[in-house]
């Protein structure tokens, strides 16, 4: 269910009345509506810490942040249906693959903003300035601490080794995080080698994919699986928990970052872009700049136990203990570009 906050309720109601069923947008159709003292955020993130930062932005600038949250794909559909009538100024989402989907639907405008380009490394932003990373995470391997890390496991490719038959728990192929992981393998290895890898991982499943990353962590902690494939921020919800039951689960598994002697661990981002028909585009750019400042980057990332995307800003909270690793420098735009091929491979190898 969507959560709707601030003045955006009325704006959305008006926009929904006249929105066409489909729309095509181009970079040649900028908004001509006047700048106002507000900015409207459509967000696929669901963290109260974001709202705290939005309130800080309002206090500092006088620009009111109106906020709606829902699933990334649902928000893309809403923005495209609303078309020129959309009140959306910024679209924020939690995966480069979803940012790519949004760009394919014409959601974003290109920005020529030197401040944003200076803050965000090239691999974490769109080459034409359509979206910028705000925080990052790694998709890693966890292992049952009592069973230990299996001998010889060093890389993602090793996960397909028959030596690890019946050991792996992971969520379904419909999940965008897995699609982005396989897309990164396609970018690195090519489709044939990536397909062979995916088939090998399927052969090593301990069970049919089910649940989210939390489910995989709980299964590994319980010893049902020796290995799990999860996003790094999920682990911090256990490793740094004040809840005794969650903390006890956190004691039963450990983190492993693959490919430390090679390309590095696969990383993905949460990111944002200014929408094609943004009525408050200048205010939207100001908000993205605010979220990328040193003093706000740590708070934004730590709200979901992620890593800051700005170089030199240290991670905060429990994930900081797991921030010293080699990350893959593959441009995250490749995750979207290879997404369709990843889905086809998943289907062919029988990854549910």
Q: What is the pLDDT of residue 5?
A: 45
Is residue 326 domain-resident?
A: no
Q: Mark whether 235 and 302 lie in a shared domain.
A: no
Q: Mark whether 257 and 305 lie in a shared domain.
A: no
pTM: 0.89
Per residue in 11-23, pLDDT (tens digit) is 333 333 333 333 3
Query: Residue 72: CB partners within 8 Å, gap ≥ 6?
Result: 44, 93, 94, 95, 98, 101, 102, 176
Q: Mark whether 186 and 220 lie in a shared domain.
A: yes
Per residue in 320-331, pLDDT (tens digit) is 999 999 999 999
Q: Mark whether 197 and 336 lie in a shared domain.
A: yes
Q: Mark whether 157 and 247 lie in a shared domain.
A: yes
Mean of per-residue pLDDT scores for the chain: 91
**Total of domains in the chain:** 2
Is residue 327 domain-resident?
A: no
Q: Mark whether 89 and 180 lie in a shared domain.
A: no
Per residue in 175-197, pLDDT (tens digit) is 999 999 999 999 999 999 999 99
Tell me which residue range forms the domain holding 278: 3-136+269-318
CB 166 within 8 A of CB 207: no
Q: Mark whether 148 and 128 lie in a shared domain.
A: no
CB 297 within 8 A of CB 131: no
Residues comprising the chain, all counted: 352
Q: Pick the closest to residue 78 from 142, 12, 144 (CA basis).
A: 12
Residue 215's CB is within 10 A of a number of other CB atoms, namely 17
Is residue 92 domain-resident?
A: yes
CB 100 within 8 A of CB 336: yes
Query: Residue 230: CB partners within 8 Å, gap ≥ 6?
Result: 139, 140, 142, 213, 216, 217
Q: What is the pLDDT of residue 22?
A: 30
> What CATH number does residue 106 fall under?
3.40.190.10
Which tokens go with 78? 């809403």
């Amino acid at each position: 269910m969507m959560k709707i906050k601030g003045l955006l309720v009325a704006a959305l109601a008006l926009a929904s009345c006249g929105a066409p069923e489909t729309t095509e947008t181009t970079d040649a159709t900028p908004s001509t509506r006047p700048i106002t003292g507000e900015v409207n955020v459509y967000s696929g993130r669901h963290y109260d810490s974001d709202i705290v930062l939005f309130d800080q932005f309002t206090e500092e600038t006088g620009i009111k942040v109106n906020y709606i949250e829902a699933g990334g794909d649902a928000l893309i559909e809403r923005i495209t249906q609303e078309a020129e009538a959309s009140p959306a100024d910024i679209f924020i989402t939690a995966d480069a693959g979803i940012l790519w989907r949004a760009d394919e639907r014409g959601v974003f405008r290109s920005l020529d903003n030197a401040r944003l380009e200076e803050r965000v490394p090239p691999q974490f932003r769109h080459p034409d300035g359509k979206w910028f990373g705000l925080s990052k995470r790694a998709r890693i391997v966890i292992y049952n601490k009592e069973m230990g890390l299996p001998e010889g496991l060093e890389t993602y490719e090793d996960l397909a080794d028959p030596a690890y038959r019946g050991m792996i728990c992971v969520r379904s192929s419909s999940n965008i995080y897995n699609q982005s992981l396989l897309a990164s393998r396609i970018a690195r290895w090519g489709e044939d080698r990536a397909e062979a890898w995916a088939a090998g991982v399927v052969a090593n499943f301990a069970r049919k994919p089910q649940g989210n990353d939390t489910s995989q962590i709980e299964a590994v902690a319980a010893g049902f699986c020796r290995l799990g494939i999860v996003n790094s921020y999920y682990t911090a919800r256990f490793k740094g928990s004040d809840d005794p039951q969650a903390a006890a689960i956190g004691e039963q598994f450990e983190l492993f970052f693959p490919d430390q002697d090679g390309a590095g661990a696969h990383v993905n981002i949460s990111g944002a872009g200014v929408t094609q028909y943004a009525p408050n585009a200048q205010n939207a750019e100001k908000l993205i700049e605010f979220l990328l400042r040193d003093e706000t980057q740590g708070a934004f990332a730590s709200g979901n136990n992620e890593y800051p995307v700005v170089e030199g800003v240290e991670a905060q909270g429990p994930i900081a203990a797991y921030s010293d690793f080699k990350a893959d420098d593959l441009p995250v735009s490749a995750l979207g570009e290879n997404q369709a091929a990843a889905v086809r491979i998943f289907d062919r190898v029988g990854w549910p």
